[in-house]
A and B are shown apart, each in its own frame.
Chain A
Amino acid sequence: MPETIPSTIQPVSTAPETKPKKLLLLFPGQQEDERICLVIRQHWFIFLSKILTWVVFFALLFVVHFGLKYFVPDIFEEPYINVLNVVETFYLMFLLASLLIIWILYYLNVQIVTNERVVDITQKRLMHHTISELHLNRIQDVTADVRGFIQTFLDFGNVYLQTAGETERFVFENVANPTKVSKLILDLYDQLPPEEKGNG
């Protein structure tokens, strides 16, 4: 276990040698002796920005309602008021669904760093779920990328993992403390036995 663990990231390290209890499987294919070092999701600012957008659409319901009341008062008489009520109820229903989807897309996008590999679980859309994994011995280069004022101020950004023999990079998008995450991955790579390094 490396000494430096980013402060905002929840370490869920379990020591199998000291606690041989029932293993909590976080991802498919997890080995019993595999030690989970980090579980990372997108930075809270990304989630907050989506929630704030949702709040704007929620407030829009009241703005339009009172706007209609002010500019088109006739719509609040029978039978139009009933149609307006149905439309507003459906708007609320879809707002509720969108809030659930925002949560799901945040919660199900997760990166897991273990002492053996890096697992990237991505939920791009509701029915688009991918699990990619990369063994630490295949990592050639780790890059932390922090761009712009907000990312610098709140300390979040992308972490790119360059693998051996592949052009496509492994990307952790908008994770907290990207420099610490990249350092942790490099530390874990350094802890690999010499015969395993560069065997990808």
Chain B
Amino acid sequence: MLSVDSNLITQAITILFYVALAAFILISTMALYSLIRFSRARMMVTTITTTYLVLSVALIIIAFIQLNQIKF
């Protein structure tokens, strides 16, 4: 019974994780699209986009590593 509950908790956390990740990716895509679509300063846009993508990917990888360490 305890293992079933633990599995449920882990599954719930995993689902929440993916929902939050999807929200983050959606917001980021919309933001970067707006910046790329409407900005005229190509150099600045490239710099900001690259920096943002590098930081985001690093944080997502860290979040995945931390998710895999969760064991109830």
Residues in chain A within 8 A of chain B (CB atoms) = 24-26, 78-79, 82-83, 85-86, 89-90, 92-94, 96-97, 100-101, 103-104, 107-108, 121, 123, 126-127, 129
Write the chain B residue with the least CB distance to A83. Answer: B70
* Closest chain A CB from B66 CB (angstroms): 4
Given contacts A82-B69, A104-B31, A90 and B38 within 8 Å (CB-CB): no
In contact, B38 and A82 (Cβ under 8 angstroms): no
How many residues of chain B are within 8 Å of chain A by beta carbon? 30
In contact, A83 and B13 (Cβ under 8 angstroms): yes
* Closest chain B CB from A155 CB (angstroms): 26
- The answer to whether the Cβ of B3 comes within 8 Å of any Cβ in the partner chain is no
CB-defined A-B contacts under 8 Å, sample of 19: A26-B40, A82-B67, A82-B71, A85-B66, A90-B17, A90-B20, A90-B63, A93-B56, A94-B27, A97-B27, A101-B27, A107-B35, A107-B39, A123-B34, A126-B27, A126-B30, A126-B31, A127-B30, A129-B38
In contact, B48 and A100 (Cβ under 8 angstroms): yes
Write the chain B residue with the least CB distance to A90. Answer: B20
* Closest chain B CB from A92 CB (angstroms): 6
* Closest chain A CB from B3 CB (angstroms): 14
Query: What is the CA–CA distance of A78 and B70 in the complex, to the nearest angstrom?
Result: 8
In contact, A127 and B63 (Cβ under 8 angstroms): no
Residues from chain A with Cβ under 8 Å of B48 in the complex? 100, 103
In contact, A127 and B34 (Cβ under 8 angstroms): yes
In contact, A126 and B28 (Cβ under 8 angstroms): no
Residues from chain B with Cβ under 8 Å of A126 in the complex? 27, 30-31, 33-34
* Closest chain A CB from B47 CB (angstroms): 12
Query: What is the CA–CA distance of A129 and B70 in the complex, to the nearest angstrom?
Result: 42
Residues from chain B with Cβ under 8 Å of A101 in the complex? 27, 31
In contact, B31 and A86 (Cβ under 8 angstroms): no
Query: What is the CA–CA distance of A79 and B40 in the complex, to the nearest angstrom?
Result: 48
* Closest chain A CB from B33 CB (angstroms): 8
- The answer to whether the Cβ of B60 comes within 8 Å of any Cβ in the partner chain is yes
